């Protein structure tokens, strides 16, 4: 009997020491610091409430997002936007519009097909809607809200948000089509070196021969349309469709990427819009009517012009249908 | 001047989800919206703790800071409320809030967000008190009836306390003194600050 | 173009007049939007002191040790 009792006591003590052995089981402090520190890491815990990330007690990265968005992104984004606008205004004041040197011949050659123009303008239209509504989301609170008051501004912001969400996918569609449409004319050519060396003759006014698109247009194509366009679309889709149950982390990151790239995109587009409208004589006509004057083609895209002339002189060449016959 | 606060005693919360249910019932919130939820840390492991969490009515509220239409406001009592007529459902408050308080009834296509909904500390919204519109948009306004949030008032173990910060902290202080442990409470210190120096020292001892 | 620049300039200037909208709560400092205080209704008729007393009393009800006399 004594022996049994002894064995039992031994077992019990063994159990106790065994239980005490792993450091994790050390007598818990009253304040479970580890537990609370882990709560801030943002790992999902147990909860009966169904939904996305309902098990995350504290998601700390939102604070980072807030600091970035309300701080540098708004401030430097606004400064960048104003500086670019100002730079373009100064450039226009100093350099003026780039005029044609020789008189127009009146002979027109086709530059953009009807389909190309449709794609361009749907891209441009959706871009402008997206840019304005997006700028409103970031700066509207600081610029328009004091002017409009809360009720009217929220009405405008709701309109902007819905436009932004629905036009966004349309923009992606148009840039995908535009990519395939224009990519073959945006491939690097040897003449681009000359354009880079002379900065396109933008400042000097010198002449740089180029193919259908010069290097400036190619840069806008590859950096703007392809790189930024895709980045912005992907990050935008993450934000636009919350029904794929993506968490807050990825949405915060997507928002930062989206805003930073969008601001760069808008600033680049200002340059594109400037040179395509008031900055250069005859540039807008190319995209509006699809035809350019021979003088314009020779002065801005000489190599392309010669190529077109060569094609036209081939026997059996048919002028593009719908070409306005001999313009006055 | 009262400053309204929630406080959840993790030593007492038994994860009954009574607060969650009471909240849904009191405000008749739409399906899929959870103004309050109970999260269990280290579930099934010795030392598990449950916490009932909702909008913490922050003094420096991130939702308020990032809202692009500035639809949030603090009431006199420090309750964070928002105007659903202004809300555009952009989701920014949801990105910024560390507690996952902002909720969206997903009624639109492709999960498009509706107007944000969150805990109001049972203080209704900017509509006329006790009006039908106020109830429809924000739920019951118990504060204007001289009552406190239903979740805290009906908590069976009195783990969740709500009301004037002075009163709540007094109750909790007495309780912690009496039981001599468990001052690690779900409150502002845990949510925002680092652990007090004393606790950090203990943690270091535990590790070494 | 001139109109556009002027508009941009005016907007940029408006930004300078922007009030800080991050409302960090200061006790008793009501910020902005129109909402009736909880004592401004039929139940309390603007009696702030009575409301505060009621809410405080209600808050103390949460102290079960006091309620059961422990």
Give the model confidence (pLDDT) of B4-61 as tens digits: 999 999 889 999 999 999 999 999 998 889 999 999 998 888 888 899 999 999 988 9
Tell whether C26 is covered by a domain: no
From chain A, pick out residues whose CB is under 8 angstroms from the CB of C19: 146
- Structural domain contains residue C56: yes
- The per-residue b/e assignment along A39-63, b for 16 or more CB within 10 angstroms, e otherwise, is bbebeebebeeeeebbbbbbbebbb
Say yes or no for a CB contact (<8 Å) between A150 and C33.
Answer: yes
Q: Which of B60, B73, B77 sits opposite C31 (nearest CB)?
A: B73
The reported pLDDT for the residue numbered A105 is 85
Cβ atoms of residues B56 and B35 within 8 Å: no
> What is the span of the domain harbouring residue C55?
40-64
- CB B100 within 8 Å of CB B118: no
Could you tell me the sign of the dihedral formed by the alpha carbons of A158, A162, A165, A171, in that order? Answer: negative
- In this structure, are residues B79 and B121 in contact, taking their beta carbons and an 8 Å threshold? yes
Beta bridge partners of C24: B60
For β-strands B160-164 and B4-8, DSSP reports them as antiparallel
pLDDT score at A123: 93
Provide the phi-psi class of A199: left if phi over 0, else alpha when psi is between -120 and 50, else beta. Answer: left
pLDDT on residue C32 = 59
- Do the domain assignments include residue C45? yes
Q: If contacts are CB pairs under 8 Å, which of residues 54-83 in chain A contact chain B?
A: 54-60, 62-63, 65-66, 69-70
| pLDDT over 90 percentage in chain A | 41
Classify residue A112: in a domain, yes or no: yes
Given C1, C11, C21, which is nearest A278 (Cβ)?
Answer: C1
Interface of B with A in 83-112 (CB under 8 A): 83, 85-91, 94-100, 104, 106, 110-112
- Total number of domains constituting chain C: 1
What are the residues facing B60 on neighbouring strands? C24
Which of 1-30 (B) contact A at CB < 8 A? 17, 20
Under 8 Å between Cβ of B176 and B182: yes
Three-state secondary structure call for residue B81: strand
pLDDT at C70 over 60: no
Task: Count Cβ atoms below 10 Å from residue B204 Cβ, excluding itself.
Answer: 10
Contact C1 A150 (CB under 8 A): no
Residue C10 lies in a domain: no
Lowest mean pLDDT among A243-252, B106-115, B123-132, B151-160: B106-115
Check the CA dihedral A272-A273-A279-A281 and report its sign. Answer: positive
Strands A291-293 and B4-8: unpaired
Q: Which residue of C has its CA nearest to B166?
A: C56
User: Secondary structure of C29-70 in the HEC alphabet?
Assistant: CCCCCCCCCCCCCCCCCCCHHHHHHHHHHHHHCCCHHHHCCC
Residue C12 and residue A141: Cβ atoms within 8 Å? no
Beta-carbon-side half-sphere exposure of residue B134 (alpha carbons within 13 Å)? 18
Q: Is residue C47 part of a domain?
A: yes
In the prediction, which pLDDT does B77 show? 86
Residue ranges of chain A whose pLDDT lies below 50: 1, 5, 7-8, 10-30, 320-328
Domain count, chain A: 1
Using a CB–CB cutoff of 8 Å, tell me whether B179 touches chain A: no
B89-118 pLDDT, tens digit each: 999 999 999 999 999 887 666 767 889 999
Q: Which of C5, C8, C18 sits opposite A142 (nearest CB)?
A: C18
Strand partners, B51: B39
Per the domain annotation, does A238 fall within a domain? yes
CA-wise closest residue to A102 among A266, A244, A267, A302: A302
- Taking the CA atoms of C35, B154, C50 and B172 in sequence, report the sign of the dihedral they define: negative
Q: What is the pLDDT of residue B208?
A: 40
Expressed as residue numbers, the domain containing A307 is 108-313
Q: Is residue C51 in some structural domain?
A: yes
pLDDT for A3: 55
**How far, in Å, CA of B4 to CA of B6, rounded?**
7
Laid out side by side, the sheet with B37-41 consists of A46-47, B37-41, B49-53
Tell which of A89, A92, A267 to mutate to test the C interface (max C CBs under 10 Å): A89
Closest-CA residue in chain B for C34?
Answer: B126
Residue among B32, B38, B195 whose CB faces A47 most closely: B38
Counted across chains A and C, CB pairs separated by less than 8 A come out at: 27
Per the CB < 8 A criterion, the answer to whether B15 and B50 are in contact is yes
CATH topology of domain B4-207: Alpha-Beta Plaits (3.30.70)
With contact defined as beta carbons under 8 Å apart, do A137 and A266 qualify? Answer: no
Q: Which residues contact B167 (CB under 8 A, 6 or more apart)?
A: C56, C59, C60
Q: C29: distance to nearest CA of chain A, Å?
A: 20
pLDDT value for C68: 73
Strands, DSSP E only, in B98-165?
A: 160-164
- Considering only CB atoms, which chain B residues are within 8 Å of C64? 158
Angle at CA of residue A35, ends A30 and A36, nearest 5° = 90
**What stretches of chain B adopt beta strand conformation (E)?**
4-8, 37-41, 49-53, 72-74, 80-82, 160-164
Domain CATH code at residue A128 = 1.20.950.20
Residue C60 lies in a domain: yes
- The number of beta carbons lying within 10 Å of the beta carbon of residue B140 is 20
| ipTM higher than the 0.90 cut | no
**Dmax (CA) of chain A:** 125
| pLDDT-based confidence at residue C64 (cuts at 50, 70, 90) | confident
Residue among C21, B93, B115, B103 nearest A255 (CA): B93
C7 CB within 8 Å of a chain A CB: no
**Tally of CA atoms within 13 A in the half-sphere of C66 that contains its CB:** 14
Three-state secondary structure call for residue A267: helix
The pLDDT score that the predictor gives to residue B178 is 80
Cβ neighbours of B119 in A, within 8 Å: none
C38, B178: Cβ pair inside 8 Å?
Answer: no
In a domain, A36, yes or no: no
Identify whether C52 is part of a domain: yes
Q: Is the dihedral of CA A242, A247, A248, A251 positive or negative?
A: negative
- As a whole number of angstroms, the distance between CA A42 and CA A35 comes to 12
- 3-class SS at C14? helix
What does the H/E/C string look like for A110-140?
Answer: ECCCHHHHHHHHHHHHHHHHHHHHHHHHHHH
**B41 close to B51: Cβ distance less than 8 angstroms:** yes
pLDDT by residue (tens digit) across C9-30?
Answer: 777 777 666 665 555 566 555 5
């Amino acid at each position: 009997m004594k022996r049994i009792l002894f064995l039992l006591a031994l077992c019990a003590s063994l159990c106790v020491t065994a239980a005490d052995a792993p450091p994790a089981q050390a007598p818990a402090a009253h304040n479970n610091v580890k537990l609370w520190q882990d709560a801030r890491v943002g790992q999902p815990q147990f909860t009966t409430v169904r939904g996305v990330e309902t098990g995350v007690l504290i998601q700390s990265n939102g604070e980072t997002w807030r600091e970035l968005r309300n701080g540098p992104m708004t401030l430097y984004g606004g400064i960048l936007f104003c500086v670019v606008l100002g730079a373009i205004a100064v450039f226009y004041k100093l350099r003026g519009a780039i005029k044609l040197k020789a008189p127009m011949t009146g002979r027109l050659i086709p530059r953009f097909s009807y389909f190309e123009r449709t794609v361009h303008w749907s891209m441009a239209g959706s871009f402008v809607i997206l840019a304005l509504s997006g700028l409103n989301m970031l700066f509207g609170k600081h610029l328009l809200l004091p002017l409009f008051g809360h009720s009217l501004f929220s009405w405008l912001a709701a309109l902007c948000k819905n436009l932004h969400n629905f036009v966004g996918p349309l923009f992606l569609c148009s840039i995908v089509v535009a990519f395939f449409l224009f990519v073959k004319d945006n491939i690097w050519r040897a003449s681009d070196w000359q354009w880079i060396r002379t900065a396109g003759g933008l400042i000097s006014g010198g002449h740089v021969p180029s193919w259908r698109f010069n290097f400036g247009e190619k840069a806008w194509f590859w950096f703007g349309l392809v790189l930024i366009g895709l980045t912005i679309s992907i990050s935008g889709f993450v934000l636009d469709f919350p029904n794929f149950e993506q968490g807050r982390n990825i949405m915060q990151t997507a928002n930062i990427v989206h805003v930073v790239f969008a601001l760069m995109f808008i600033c680049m587009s200002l340059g594109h819009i400037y040179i395509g409208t008031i900055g250069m004589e005859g540039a807008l006509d190319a995209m509006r009517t699809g035809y350019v004057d021979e003088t314009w083609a020779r002065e801005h895209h000489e190599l392309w012009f010669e190529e077109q002339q060569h094609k036209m002189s081939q026997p059996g060449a048919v002028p593009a249908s719908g070409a306005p016959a001999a313009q006055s | 001047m009262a400053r309204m606060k929630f406080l959840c005693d993790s030593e007492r919360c038994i994860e009954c989800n009574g607060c969650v249910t009471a909240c849904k019932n009191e405000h008749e919130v739409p399906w899929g919206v959870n103004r309050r939820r109970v999260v269990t840390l280290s579930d099934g492991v010795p030392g598990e703790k449950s916490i009932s969490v909702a909008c913490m009515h922050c003094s420096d509220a991130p939702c308020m800071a990032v809202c692009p239409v500035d639809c949030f406001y603090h009431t006199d009592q420090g309750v964070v409320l928002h105007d659903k007529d202004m809300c555009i459902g952009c989701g920014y408050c949801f990105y910024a809030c560390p507690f996952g308080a902002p909720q969206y009834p997903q009624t639109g296509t492709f999960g498009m967000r509706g107007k944000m909904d969150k805990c109001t500390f049972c203080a209704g919204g900017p509509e006329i008190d006790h009006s039908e519109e106020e109830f429809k948009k924000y739920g019951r306004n118990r504060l204007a009836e001289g009552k406190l949030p239903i979740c805290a008032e009906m908590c069976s173990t009195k783990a969740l306390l709500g009301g004037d910060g002075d009163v709540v902290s007094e109750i909790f202080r007495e309780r912690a003194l009496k039981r001599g442990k468990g001052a690690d409470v779900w409150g502002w210190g845990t949510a925002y600050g680092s652990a007090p120096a004393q606790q950090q020292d203990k943690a270091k001892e535990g590790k070494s | 173009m001139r109109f556009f620049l002027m508009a941009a300039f005016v907007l940029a200037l408006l930004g300078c007049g922007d009030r800080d909208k991050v409302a960090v709560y200061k006790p008793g400092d009501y910020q902005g939007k129109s909402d009736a205080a909880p004592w401004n209704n039929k139940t309390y008729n603007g009696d702030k002191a009575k409301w505060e007393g009621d809410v405080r009393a209600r808050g103390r009800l949460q102290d079960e040790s006091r309620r059961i006399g422990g």
